Amino acid sequence: MDGLIKALSDVVIGGGGGHDGENEARDERSRSSWAQVVSGDQDNEERPPSQWRKQEQSQQDGEGWQVSGSRPSRRPQKAEYEGYEKDERDERHAYNQNEWSRKEQENENNDGWETVGRKPRRRPQKVHMDNWQGYKRAPSEQEYADEVGTGAGIEPSEEELEDLSQACNRLWQLDLNRLEPGKDYQIDCGEGKKVYQKEDMAEESLFYSLSEDIFRKPTFSRFCALLDNYNPNAGCKEVVTAEEKQEQSAFIEEISRTAPIKYLHRYLSLKGIVSENYQDFKRMLTKLWFDLYGRGGTSGSSSAFEHVFVGEIKQRGEEEVTGFHNWLQFYLEEAKGRVDYQGYILPRRRGETPDSETQLLTIQFEWNGVLKAVSSTLVGVSPEFELALYTLCLFVGGEDNHVQLGPYSVNIKCYRFGDKIGSVFPIAES
């Protein structure tokens, strides 16, 4: 009986899928965590089942995605971290984590797969991936979108060169691929909650609909093609195939044709931070975001791209989701039934309740049955905008970067890991 229970547990934990012929290889690859839990108040009480626990599901689609059931939810844990796990700890502190205590926890309670969520969906979605396989071709066989026009539109002003906030707001204005709420997508924020509350306050999935045309945008589709290159579970070193390296280079080449990346290059070159040679700049971006480094003592187990955009599940100590700040990754994982949205985090000020038009969200969710107690994400922005924004803050800003992004006052938290990005994410400012 013990063996049967362990086998079923392994199936649930490893329920993620991949493309045909890659599942076994990717199952062998997993990620180490940002740092090891070294101390803290661990709550050993038995954890109640998730409110939305369902029968285990298993559905294989034409592209090889495997949809699996999820495990019982976990009660949020209070833990102290050292080293570069600091990013997740500080994100929680930004939302009044003095309330997080045991006492309060006891008192507060081949083309076109159809999405299947843990919660009832109002409208099934499809993602057309017919062109994604072409991204694995040799560089000489790749086809890219036309370059955006250059000129005054991407030339930083003197004021922007002196003020990071103005530069970031300019990036927001240059994000020509940013989606329009209500037109390109619809979300349902559900009900609000405190970070420490364990109840699921969202009766529906976060995403109600997303236009199929979005996945035909070159930068969006190339970004999504990268997401299945990673196994988020901590563990062994990553093995990067030649095809995956080509996907990385092709993604950087695609976004380098857009206004936000051209502005980023012009800004950093005028500051004397990067070479004026655009090819050198693109190689730098590829290394910065995709080169592997170690987390939690395992070398070659992580990258900036994986942590920030894909997410990782820390295995040492109490399981915990770290990173995972991208809305496209959230949409796709929710569509496959791996993400359970559990509500937004209540803002500290009244009158700031998010709605279907909000593009900066602070939320709570489970990924593969593991809790992300608080996470913030910019909804509807393009991949090129996010990468440009975070790269700019890394080179020009500090750990805290208080900037304006259109209507939003945001603190871009940026943690360095030597000369690399350890973690970076937005926090809404009150």
So which residues are the catalytic ones?
307, 325, 372
State the Cα–Cα distance between residues 192 and 352, nearest whole angstrom: 11
Contact 132, 243 (CB under 8 A): no
Nearest-5° angle of CA 260, CA 266, CA 272? 135
Q: What is the token pair recorded at 203?
A: 């009766």
State the Cα–Cα distance between residues 322 and 92, nearest whole angstrom: 12
Contact 334, 205 (CB under 8 A): yes
How far is residue 283 CA from its own chain's centroid? 23
Output helix, strand, coil percentages for the chain, rounded to the nearest 5.
35, 20, 45
DSSP labels for 90-137? HHHHTT-GGG-SHHHHHH-----EEP--SSPPSS--EE--TTGGGGGS
DSSP letter assigned to residue 391? H
Q: What is the token pair recorded at 253?
A: 């080449």
**Nearest of 87, 78, 31, 81 to residue 312 by alpha carbon:** 31
Collapsing DSSP states into helix, strand and coil, what is residue 388?
helix
Angle between helices 259-270 and 278-290 (to 10 degrees): 100
Backbone angles phi, psi at 315, to 5 degrees: -100, -25
How many CB atoms are closer than 10 A to CB 180? 11
How far is residue 127 CA from its own chain's centroid? 18
Collapsing DSSP states into helix, strand and coil, what is residue 114?
strand
Contact 126, 113 (CB under 8 A): yes
State the Cα–Cα distance between residues 84 and 97, nearest whole angstrom: 19
Size (the chain), residues: 430
Radius of gyration of the chain (CA): 21
**Nearest of 348, 351, 328, 337 to residue 430 by alpha carbon:** 348
* CA distances in angstroms from 179 to 213, 383, 403, listed in the order given: 11, 11, 21
Collapsing DSSP states into helix, strand and coil, what is residue 329?
helix
